[in-house]
C-alpha cells in the first residue's frame, strides 16, 4: 500500500506535522486554523491519511464534508493546501512518483472540503 511505501504511521505523522507547519506559515490559509489545537489536528489528519493510504486502521472520526461545511474553502485555497502537502512529502525525501500518488489520494477530499 502507499501507507507501507511511505513508511507507516510514524512517517505519515511526520509528514502531516510538516504539512501543518507549512500551512501555518502561509498567511493565505493560516487563519482557518486560528484557535485550533494543532497537535490534535495533526493526529486526526494523520489518522485520516493513514486510512486513505491503505493503512490498517479505519478512519473513526467525523465525516469530512460535515467538518468542513461551514468554512467556505475555495478551490484555490485547497490547491494551496495540497501544495503544502506536496512540499512536506518532498522535504521528507519521498520519491517523486510516491509524492504524486499520495497527493492524488489527498485530492479525493477536495469535493468534501471545497464549498466556495
C-alpha cell at 106: 489527498
Q: Taking Cα atoms as reference points, which of 80, 81, 98 lies closest to residue 89? A: 98
Instruction: By CB under 6 A, name the one of 81, 88, 94, 99 that touches ligand HEM.
Output: 81
22 binds ligand HEM (CB under 6 A): no
DSSP state of 87: H
Measured from the CB atom, the residue of 5 and 59 that comes closer to ligand HEM is 59
Q: Is 73 a residue that touches ligand HEM (CB under 6 A)?
A: yes
Select the span of 5-13, 71-79, 89-97 touching ligand HEM (CB under 6 A).
Answer: 71-79
Q: How far apart are CA 66 and CA 22, in angstroms?
A: 25
58 and 6 in contact (C-beta within 8 Å)? no
Residues within the interface to ligand HEM (CB under 6 A) = 29, 32-33, 36, 44-45, 48-49, 61-62, 64, 67-68, 71, 73, 77-78, 81, 106, 109, 113
Amino acid at each position: 500500500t502507499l501507507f507501507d511505501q511511505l513508511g507507516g504511521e510514524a512517517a505519515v505523522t511526520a509528514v502531516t506535522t510538516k504539512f501543518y507547519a507549512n500551512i501555518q506559515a502561509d498567511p493565505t490559509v493560516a487563519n482557518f486554523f486560528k484557535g485550533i489545537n494543532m497537535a490534535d489536528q495533526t493526529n486526526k489528519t494523520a489518522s485520516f491519511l493513514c486510512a486513505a493510504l491503505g493503512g490498517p486502521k479505519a478512519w473513526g472520526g467525523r465525516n469530512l464534508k460535515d467538518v468542513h461545511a461551514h468554512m467556505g474553502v475555495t478551490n484555490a485555497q485547497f490547491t494551496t493546501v495540497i501544495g503544502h502537502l506536496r512540499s512536506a512529502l518532498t522535504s521528507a525525501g519521498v520519491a517523486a512518483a510516491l509524492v504524486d500518488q499520495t497527493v492524488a489520494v489527498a485530492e479525493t477530499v477536495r469535493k468534501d472540503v471545497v464549498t466556495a
